[in-house]
Structure 1
Amino acid sequence: MIRIFSALLIAIAISITPLTWHYGKLYFEPTQPEQVAPRDDTALRAEIDALRNHVSELQTRIDGLDARLSLGLRSDAKDDVAASEGIAPASDSLKDSFAKVVLIADRRNANNGLTVASPSFLSNLLGLPRENLTDDCEQATNPKLAALLKTEDVGPIQARMLEPALISLRQVFANVQVFEPELYTRIKSAGSLCVRRIRGSASSASAHAYGLALDINIDGVLDSLDDGKTQLGLILLADFFKKEGWIWGAGFRREDSMHFEVSREKLQQWRRLGEI
């Protein structure tokens, strides 16, 4: 009897195996994902750009806080001691230190990730600003370039530059105003557009000649060229400029830390977008 019962169970198992396999596939196989229509690339790029801008703003704020802490310009412990001795605690503001001249740490790596737009690159991209360049600032005669030049307030200063550079510069200073408002009020211009050749060159035009460079300082005090030092405020500003795709002159072989110019990468982006 037991053998018969066992054989019966085996027979039943064999007979229902196909059914088990069929319905098992129906209930346990992963369903095929629904076909989703491809997203609009324009909308997707806009979302990505918005996220990148948000991350950039957060990183700028972090960098500003890091600069404050690393410079040791705020000490709650010192304030406690001063208060116990009847002395007014020191301010945690940097407003009295922005114009202070300090050494530039690791300046040759200041522009890592960005590339200087060489005179030949600029010439190929935009053409020479004018045919006959001299050492003096003159008018741009290149029609395409001249049409893009504008004079506008970009926040704390006025500048004459290419229109996309002005838009970018306005964003730089908007970030500075949010995260370093005291520094923002002390920014001064030392010049922007100057259609001339590079000093010592026979025909190469400088970035200033294309309206792609700006010289700035704190409190109207010009920085000394090629001494490896600069104003503290310019060191803080350099991070804001770099995040917007600008080169800092402190990283040049001949240090020029009051100088900021648009990077090659930023220019290529503008060309792709049809802005230049």
Structure 2
Amino acid sequence: MKLLSGILIALSITAAPVLWQVADHHLAAPEPGVDETGPLRAEVAALRNELTQLKGRVDGLDARTSLGLAASAAPSEPQNQNPIASDTLKDAFAQVVLIADRRSANEGLTVASPSFLASVFGPPRDDLNDDCQPPTNQRLIELLAIEDVGPIRAQMIRPALVSLRQVFANVQVFEPELYDRIESAGSLCVRLIRGSSSSASAHAFGLAVDINIDGVLDELADGKTQLGLILLADFFRKEGWIWGAGFGREDSMHFEVSRQKIEQWRRQGQI
């Protein structure tokens, strides 16, 4: 930009005398018999206009150049010749913070109730308890798979694995530092919902995964969570997953497939 300004100024200074000479020649007293009202006067007026515009551009460029020189002449602080790239959030992903307005975290999505899941898949097994056990429901067994879905390995039904892989693919693109710090706290676990004596957890159907940052488990029902999980929640929600932070008893490391997503898979013949 400075080079361009210098060139324009130089050209302007060079051209100005020539234009003044031409204007002066045309503005001299007219010879006898010459009609000043003809094309000559229009040409002179055009030259005057060009000179005025040129002077304005030269003045403006000169002012910019002066400011640039003043700035470069001002003392400056020593600069690091090899600056280290940094992300202000990079070291804050594991920080525990309050969850703002958590009860509206799943707005627009519906939790798949245990009765709904049982109507779609059948009970995962007949003798559920609070411990993780293998499924005995043959239809569910045939839908299950164990796969790497990006930063973690999970055991879930196949449509859920595909969807989860998409969630993490998006995270890798938009939050690569966060992606590198994601760890799993479990997926398939055929058991009862905590505190229930009859209802199966979404984990029991291969429809839920627990996530943590840097291997640190979120504390249940304290209304707080890791900053990284708050960021992840938006990626999950856009893919049609429910965030456990919105439950009556906050469980923010928990993500499960919404009823809408399951109904979509059923319409498509995936389950």
Q: TM-score, normalised on structure 2?
A: 0.69
Which of 247, 253, 262 matches 2:257?
A: 262
Report the Cα offset of residue 131 of structure 1. 1.1
Partner residue in 1 for 2:182? 187
Partner residue in 1 for 2:201? 206
In structure 1, distance between residues paired with 2:169 and 2:175: 10
User: 1:72-221 maps to which residues of 2 (within 5 A)?
Assistant: 84=77, 91-221=86-216
Deviation string for 1:74-121 (max 9, x for gaps)? Answer: xxxxxxxxx959798993342111001111111000000000000011
Partner residue in 2 for 1:245? 240
In structure 2, distance between residues paired with 1:239 and 1:84: 41
Deviation string for 1:147-197 (max 9, x for gaps)? Answer: 001000000000000110000000000000000000000000000000011
In structure 2, distance between residues paired with 1:208 and 1:260: 10
1:269 counterpart letter in structure 2: Q
In structure 2, distance between residues paired with 1:84 and 1:91: 20
Q: Specify the SS of the correspondent of 1:265.
A: helix
Please say which of residues 148-157 and 195-204 is displaced more in the overlay. Answer: 195-204
1:191 counterpart letter in structure 2: G
In structure 1, distance between residues paired with 2:250 and 2:258: 17
Q: Specify the SS of the correspondent of 1:215.
A: strand
Structure 2: any 5+ residue segments left out of the alignment?
Answer: 1-75
Deviation string for 1:45-76 (max 9, x for gaps)? Answer: xxxxxxxxxxxxxxxxxxxxxxxxxxxxxxxx
RMSD in angstroms over aligned alpha carbons?
1.7
In structure 2, distance between residues paired with 1:269 and 1:93: 39
In structure 2, distance between residues paired with 1:90 and 1:270: 43
Aligned length: 194
1:135 counterpart letter in structure 2: D
Report the Cα offset of residue 229 of structure 1. 0.7
Over the matched positions of the two proteins, sequence identity in percent amounts to 75
Structure 1: any 5+ residue segments left out of the alignment?
Answer: 1-82
Structure 1 residues 265 and 89, CA, compared in 2 at 3 Å: closer, same or farther?
Answer: same
Please say which of residues 126-135 and 264-273 is displaced more in the overlay. Answer: 126-135
Q: Specify the SS of the correspondent of 1:275.
A: coil
1:233 counterpart letter in structure 2: G
Q: TM-score, normalised on structure 1?
A: 0.68
2:96 counterpart letter in structure 1: V
Please say which of residues 86-95 and 109-118 is displaced more in the overlay. Answer: 86-95
Partner residue in 1 for 2:57? none
In structure 2, distance between residues paired with 1:112 and 1:232: 20
In structure 2, distance between residues paired with 1:197 and 1:252: 16
Deviating beyond 6 angstroms after TM superposition, the runs of 4 or more aligned structure 1 residues are: 85-90
2:111 counterpart letter in structure 1: V
